[in-house]
Amino acid sequence: MTTLSFDTSKLSSFVNEGELEMMQPMVNMADSLLREGTGAGSDYTDWIKLPTEYDHDEFARIQAAAKKIASDSKVLVVIGIGGSYLGARAAVDFLNDYFNSAYSDADRTAPQIIFAGNNISGQYLNSIIKLIGDRDFSVNVISKSGTTTEPAIAFRVFKQMLEKKYGVEAAKERIYATTDSKRGALKTLADEEGYEEFVVPDGVGGRFSVLTAVGLLPIAAAGGDIEQLMAGAAQAQADYADADLMKNEAYQYAAYRNILYRKGYTTELLVNYEPTLVQFGEWWKQLQGESEGKDGKGIFPATGNFSTDLHSFGQYIQEGRRNLFETLVRVTEPVTDVTIPTMDADDGLGYLQGETMSYVNRMASDGTLLAHVDGGVPNMVVEIEKQDAYHLGYMIYFFEIAVGISGYLNGINPFNQPGVEAYKKNMFGLLGKPGYESLTEELRARL
């Protein structure tokens, strides 16, 4: 098979013949807005050519920093929230064994990667501190501004820990700052303290930043092959450059999503059958939801981790409101496999003994797909051949270029996120942040 295949054969009951072809003129316009930089939010579309037009010098520094972290640290604490951590976490999980994070240091081939600053839970932060214990650790703090509350709190805590453990000067050698190239609180601090710095590019929004230093340093530190990751994305960049829907499966995905949305299918479930793909779904949720959920429009992104979730909300998918469609992401070749033992046991598994679990999993996914289609749920399938860095890079680009087209098809700016600031303003007001005094009084009165 090709690097990635996109199967829409189970849409025939939901999309009439010729509907995709009718989308071509609109796709042409969306492609023009995206590629020519004439669409809303065009200042944040540098990710389109990023796989082939990235900073190679910085890339080499990322690889060198990852080697240094591996040489002097058992743990790397990656501090960030939203696009500053979701892509890296998805890739680290995708490229490693499911319980890799629980391995002992002796069994680990790379530092343990721990993600912090993605919530405001003291319990969570204390759990990380206990997990680090007396082991050597480093910190990668990721923030374009340096003032986002969640990562700023976590960085203050771990910076203090580093200074107490190693001393102020030695601690600076263990802090890696990924931030704006020119301005911001973190940039200023990094310059003053002499931290090694990496750049969050101006033209790449957070949810598209996994193929920048934002994602590449944690991925490389975890032992991921970032050269292959970029190679896969570069191949996808080449493969998805044609606006012709018959030649561009990423654009087909965008078009079919919009066709289904206009028919009342307003929730998309990204479905997987491998626990190491769960965090990929979390990255995808931000990519889709933050890009398209605005102006009272947009497909609601949700995830299904099967077969686990078939025993919880599978009933709803099968027979609930018919506003759902599914996109199944699966891998052809399993990373490892287990053969079901042959034995004399009255457990009802005689018909499966000698089969592999990957075979059973495949039949479960095929059977579920057919059942859901029969129940009125449209299904599409995105399938990659292998679960490795090359195929991950390719699939990341597939979904990124698709959401850019999809957003323009729906008449919105796919590259801003004005609604994200609303909760922050209220939080600052309730916390009594200077400059929010009038809002503080107003909100406290409402509470």
For the annotated catalytic residues, the residue numbers are: 290, 424
- What lies within 8 Å, CB to CB, of 429 at 6+ separation is 436, 439, 440, 442, 443
Q: By C-alpha distance, which of 262, 235, 257, 233 is closest to 245?
A: 257
Burial of 38 (0-12, 13-18, 19+ CB in 10 A): exposed
The answer for residues whose C-beta is within 8 angstroms of residue 317's C-beta and 6 or more apart is 269, 304, 310, 324, 326, 372, 375, 377
* CA 254/CA 318 separation, integer angstroms: 24
Residue 436 CB contacts under 8 Å (≥ 6 apart), including other chains: 425, 428, 429
Compute the distance between CA of residue 381 and CA of residue 7 in angstroms, rounded to an integer.
Answer: 5
Please give the distance of CA 269 from its chain centroid, rounded to a whole number: 15
270 contacts 309 by C-beta, under 8 angstroms: no
In the three-class reduction of DSSP (H, G, I as helix; E, B as strand; rest coil), residue 294 is classed as strand
